[in-house]
Chain A
Amino acid sequence: MVGPEGNRNVVTAADLSARSLGIRIGMPATQAQALVAELVVQEADPDGDSASLDRLAVWALRYSPVAAADPPDGLVLDTTGADHLHGGEEAMLADISGRLAAAGVRARLAISDTWGASYALARVSADERAIVPAGRTAEVLAGVPISALRLDPNTIADLRKLGFDQIRDLEATSRAPLTLRFGPLVCRRLDQAFGRAAEPIEPVRPPDVVEVRRVFAEPIAAPETIHRYLGKLVGQLCAALEERGLGARRMDLLFGRVDDEVQAVRVGTSTATRDVKRLTRLLGDKIETVEPGFGIETMRLAATLAEPLHPKQTISSLTEEPDADVAGLIDVLANRVGEDRVYRYAAVASDVPERAVARVAAAALASDDEWPAGWPRPARLLQPPEAIETLALLPDHPPVSFTWRGIRRRVKRADGPERVFGEWWKADPELVAVRDYFRVEDDAGERFWIFRAGDGENAATGSQRWYLHGIFA
């Protein structure tokens, strides 16, 4: 990438292979072209860059309701209270970088207490994904070079000349001469990096999002008051959604505090809805997590994910009563235990027991597929199957006795075998794999589902070992 700087063209960005050939950012374009014969040079497009960075920031809203572009080349997210939705901080970073990599973007990520520290670490850390535990920002920052302080290059160069190299050098000097020489920005950046000065993030709003807001003349703090205004906001939002024929799937409620901090609450619903009572209930459950501090000045409620929702005629039948709607309950539970922990099981056409069930969203439409009824299936399925010691006649007799979890059981009655063949279209080893399932009952009347891996004759079909896979009632 080449762009004008002053009255000459310089290199503004270079990819990995160009950098390995010795091209540096800031180098005159003519020099770079002289250095590498077949250099692909493109005009820099700062406006296009910042527009696409904004789009990326809107994408990042999926991770946290407070996300913003940090030009020229960064994104900043306030993930406080949002990381657990993605399985913790590490899992979230892995997910972000994985998704970006899939889109062809190489990213360096860092999580720390402050924007400034995260900015610095994302750029200088040896690790591509750096996480600083809460409260340890100061010690990590001390050894970071001053170039990561978000100051303009001239200031950095001047500071270098004066012998400042790392942040700890700047921290150790008195501030008055620094401010006199370089202006107030140096000390402010230091304070912001160490968390001594607040630095609110102005979150991006995705375009054409349905949003309602309320500004308070006097800051509010009491949960009851918040609740009352929440009800009003939800009412307004639902009216706005109705005008456009939309229903909310995900809502963000942002609280602007008097000290410029932004607190956020996010809820999701299983189906598109604009039911005031239901949405108020969902948001109301989360209000206790909000820290009002010295008071809340603004409340902003946005339906960040909305889907078309058209009025439907309810079934009116003289004979059939419609089933009660449980979508509200599903939402309450999903926001409590996590969205993927509330589900239904659906039938999958597979003879391998552990593959015969699939989890589907609780609100998904019911399918007509059912499991074949003729074959008895256990109430509990052990996952993975547990190895047992058996005494059995080969090839097709059930065991005479077996030992499971240290207890030996004599088999009184048995049914089987039910032969399950491997699914050759899934993996090569399954081409000849076989399991023989037996339903056995011991002396005391306990019934188990056991299988032998292999057909009892041919060693290629399995290990011929026995496993306990399920417990019948």
Chain B
Amino acid sequence: MIDEDIAEATLKSAESKGTFLLAEVRTEERNSRNLSVKSSQVNNISTFQDSGMNVRIVLRSGIGFASSNLVSKAEGARLVKQAFKLAKTASRKNPVALSQEPAVRTDWEVRQRRPLVDISTEEKLEYLNSLDSAVMKTKVKVQGRYYEVKDYEISGHFANSEGSRIRSFLPRLKVESFNLVSAKGQTAQSIRQWGASGGWEKKDDWDLVHALPQEMRMLKKQLEQGRMVKPGTYDLICGSEVAGIAAHESCGHPMEADRILGREMSQAGKSFVSPDMIGKQIGSRYATVMDDPTVPGTYGYYPYDQEGVKARPRYLYKEGLINEFLQNRETAARMGVQSNAASRSEFYLREPIVRMANTFVAPGDFEEDEIIGDVKNGVLMHSFTEWNIDDKRYNQKYVSREAYFIKDGELAGPAKKCTLEITTPGFWGAIDAVSKKVGFDSAECGKGDPMQGMAVCTGGPVLRLRSVMLK
């Protein structure tokens, strides 16, 4: 149970130290559990209880952030002193400013039908073993079999000197799998993750007892029957997993305002996008990419960000145009706009920075059959394995995990290692059809220094890209 008096006392301590633009105190408690199974055997069982607090002091001369896993009034006072000193030391040439945002007083929580804390280790083990058994029953040769379930609840309290007070409760569930399938002297790997905000009931949505065996059979078929794609120009149909990773990597990341302003320049890098590119063409009129933290039940869900700003859907690319950057209060002030609630932190020890939530390509009005039916010579890249993108987010690569040739509007057998290496405008500019139904995948996005793994979703409908080079 978070003692909110400590936050109040810490804010008072900050007020007694002098003037500032903003003082924030964030307190968190987290209970986490982890179970992993390797080749039908328990590999590890862990349980954690963690709590901590941080203080962020914003002066015109700089920002100081101090955090600790001790929670007390004395520790709060120590963190205030330290954060003030750090903020003064920064001596910024360009003074810090923050966007003005309304104070918020609210409580929010994600409800659970089957609370994660009530699920026994035995039940989780039974679940993971059921996945492993289902995989084994396929008779596919699966050399590597590793499964993990992680779940946690975060209770939070946010207070700032402008009057915001936000209590929160967020449970999350995640299942990961690693499988290595072999056939005909070759191997194919499958590294997957499923995540949601909510209780144990969320696993039912994923239906992994059927989905994982299907994946093993698919990989076997790819190995046994797959033909290499002859390098050349094809129409490419991207499944929702591929649409989602492209939305995340070549839209979400380059549209992060801190990146655009250079704050991540020595780690995750800068962006090909500059502040004056709002309204500029980046893709075809079918290219609309959203980032929406408010989708209920998603892995990246939150209604208020960690500066206390109310979340809302953001249209990053809209009908092919660069539309809106992801902003926190500092970047928003520098660009003369309001924050759109993109400030997130992995946990209390880390500073909040600009992050994505659930980034996805917006649906269109095509049926999937129509999209494939209109392709004479093409490839369907249903899912991917290897992928990467450069640090300005302009040159990306996706290699298929599951792909099929398309001949005269029909699927024509598995395609092996289909490789798309393309620029960002090349990808978004080639889209000429988007399906109606959006699929989501969960992921951990890495950014920040120290690295902060952040719960996000990627997603999209089926996309058709005309005349792109495949390798």
**Is the pairing of A and B real?**
no
Task: Show the binding face of A for B, using Cβ within 8 Å.
Answer: none
Chain B: residues with CB nearer than 8 A to chain A? Answer: none
